[in-house]
Amino acid sequence: MTLYSKIVGTGSYLPPKRVTNQELAAQLAEKGIETSDEWIVSRSGISARHYAAPDVQSSDLAVEAAKRALDMAGLAANDIDLIILASSTPDYFGGFPSTACVVQRKLGITNGSAAVDVQAVCSGFVYAVSIADNFIKSGAHKTVLIIGAEVFSRILNFEDRTTCVLFGDGAGAVILSAASEPGILATKLHADGSHSEILCVPGSVNSGIIEGSAFLYMDGKAVFKLAVSVLEKVANEVLEIAGMRADQVDWLVPHQANIRIMHSTAKKLGLPLEKMVVTVDQHGNTSAASIPLALDVAVRDGRIKPGQNVMMEGVGGGFTWGAVLARF
C-alpha cells in the first residue's frame, strides 16, 4: 500500500502579554526613538504582537501549542514517534540539547521517539513539514509532531525601529500522520547562501564571549525584493508537482512577515485576497511559528474545511524558502 501523510491536528499558543503599536511607540519614545502606529502599519500591516515573559522559553510555548494539536487529533503524547521543532530562538545557547528534546520531556513522552530541531529561520515550519512528509512516506515514522516556536523578542534591538517593531513571540503546531489517501500533495524547498548576510544575527561565541552582535539584522529592501520573487516561483513549483492550477487553491497561508509581501504573492498567483489567511496584523512576524499559528486560527474558526486545498509558503534567513500544498 502506498503511504501518504495528512494533517490531523493543529494547535497554537500566544503568550498573554499583548503589545500594541501605540504601547510599543510609547516605550521606544522613552529611549528617544520615534515611531508611530501609522508608520508601523503602513510599512508592515502590523498592529500588535505578543511577548513572552522573561522566564518563558520557546519550549514552553511549543508545549502549549502541541497539547492543543494533540487534543484536536485525539491523540496521546506517547502516540508521537517523531518531534521536529523549527526555531531560531532555542532554549539553550548553542542549540543543545535540542528544544525538541526539551519539549519531549515536558510533554511526558517516554516511548523513545526521535526528536530534532530544524533551523531554516522563517522557512523552518515548511522545511519541517517536508521532512516529516518524507519520513512518513518512507515508512520510517507514522505520527509526527511538527512545531514552530519562537521568542524573537529576545534577539531584537529595541534601538532599531526598523526591526524591533516587526517581530513577536508564539508557537504553532501540527500533527502529521500516515494516511491511505494524499494529504500533503507536494513540497518544494530551496536555499541560496549567497544572500546569508541580508537577514541574520551576525554574532558568534568565542571562549564564552559574544563576538559581533547578538541582535537581529535585516536589510529590509533586499529581503522584500527577494521574498516577492521566490514566493511566487515556489508556489508555482508545488502546483506543477501536484498537477494543479492556482485557482484550485482554496486558501493561501503565507509566512506572516509583511502584508505587502503577502498581497504581492497572492496577486501574482491570481488569488483573491479573500483566500489569504492574515494574522500578521495581530501576531507580528513570529518567524517559524507564523504559518502554523495562522493555519490553526483558520482551522479553528472554520474557514479551512475538510477537502480543501491549502498552500503554505515561507521565506527566511539563509536565504531559505519553500512551499507545501496540502489537502485537509
Q: In this structure, which long-range contacts are made by residues 39-44, counting pairs with CB atoms below 8 Å and at least 24 apart in sequence? A: 40/165, 43/258, 43/260, 44/165, 44/166, 44/258, 44/259, 44/260, 44/280, 44/285
C-alpha cell at 144: 509526527
Q: How far apart, in Å, do the first and last CA atoms of the chain sit? A: 21
Amino acid, res. 261:
I
Euclidean distance between CA atoms 236 and 123, whole angstroms: 17
Clarify whether 195 is annotated catalytic: no
Euclidean distance between CA atoms 120 and 128, whole angstroms: 9
Of 287, 278, 286, 295, the residue nearest 318 (C-alpha): 287
Clarify whether 255 is annotated catalytic: yes
**Among 21, 101, 122, 141, the one annotated catalytic:** 122
**Among 21, 164, 200, 285, the one annotated catalytic:** 285
Clarify whether 164 is annotated catalytic: no
SS3 15: coil
**Among 50, 141, 195, 255, the one annotated catalytic:** 255
- What is the gyration radius of the CA atoms in the chain, in angstroms? 19
Q: Give catalytic residues, as residue numbers.
A: 122, 255, 285
